Amino acid sequence: MSITPPKFPLNDRFRGFLPVVVDVETGGFDCIRHALLEIAAAPIEFDENGQLAVGQIHSTHVIPFEGSEIDPKSLEVTGIDISHPFRDAKQERAALDHIFAPIRQAVKRNNCTRAILVGHNASFDLGFLNAAVARVGHKRNPFHPFSTLDTVTLAAMAYGQTVLSKAVMAAGMTWNNGDAHSAVYDTERTAQLFCKIVNGWGKTL
């Protein structure tokens, strides 16, 4: 399948890295012990005007790996019901394939060398991603293993805010607490925040 190159490829903007916003919802804070329950990812690409824009969001629920732990308090925060019949969760290997395949296509489309994870507290998301990759022995992970772009730092610099909801509202966007802690919603808002800050760099935000 041929890939149509974008009008403005991103390969020269971030040292050959393609920014990809990732959010994970989990069964706790320990990426080794606690389950990965949901993951969403959105590539950042240039639009027809040469401005950063949010690409298509890819997401999936994830079946907890064997022997994993789930803190009930985490489920209260995320609202995830791991036994819901319509959750349509995938095993970790299939979940990673589902996320990685379109990201690799976006990397290739933009003439980049690999993806770099963008997140709000990005080390948390990258930790769970890397742990899942290690558990299943995935060999085609498009993400850099340790470099990230963190919207906590960017939002603190631009708006004096570090909490995602407050940063999003300080940037002039809406925030719905009822939708928060969904991987898709948090990815979308984090991606929009990243684009707003980077596009406004050197301008009045």
47 Cβ contact partners less than 8 Å away, ≥ 6 residues apart: 53
Closest CA to 3 of 97, 99, 107: 107
Tell me, yes or no, whether 7 lies in a domain: no
Whole-number Å distance between alpha carbons of 22 and 129: 9
User: For residue 127, what is the domain's CATH number?
Assistant: 3.30.420.10
The owner of tokens 């928060």 is 180
Active site residues: 181
- Number of domains making up the chain: 1
Segment 85-128, tens digit of pLDDT: 889 999 999 999 999 999 999 999 999 999 999 999 999 999 99
Tell me, yes or no, whether 82 lies in a domain: yes
**Domain coverage including residue 44:** 17-150
Segment 24-54, tens digit of pLDDT: 999 999 999 999 999 999 999 999 898 999 9
Tell me, yes or no, whether 107 lies in a domain: yes
The CA distances from residue 71 to 4, 78, 89, 147, 180, in Å, are: 44, 11, 19, 28, 19
Tell me, yes or no, whether 26 lies in a domain: yes
**What per-residue confidence (pLDDT) applies to 1?**
42
The owner of tokens 């950063």 is 52
Tell me, yes or no, whether 28 lies in a domain: yes
Q: How confident is the model at residue 181 (pLDDT cuts 50, 70, 90)?
A: confident
Q: What is the mean pLDDT of residues 47-70?
A: 96
Q: What are the tokens at 19?
A: 């920014």
Tell me, yes or no, whether 10 lies in a domain: no
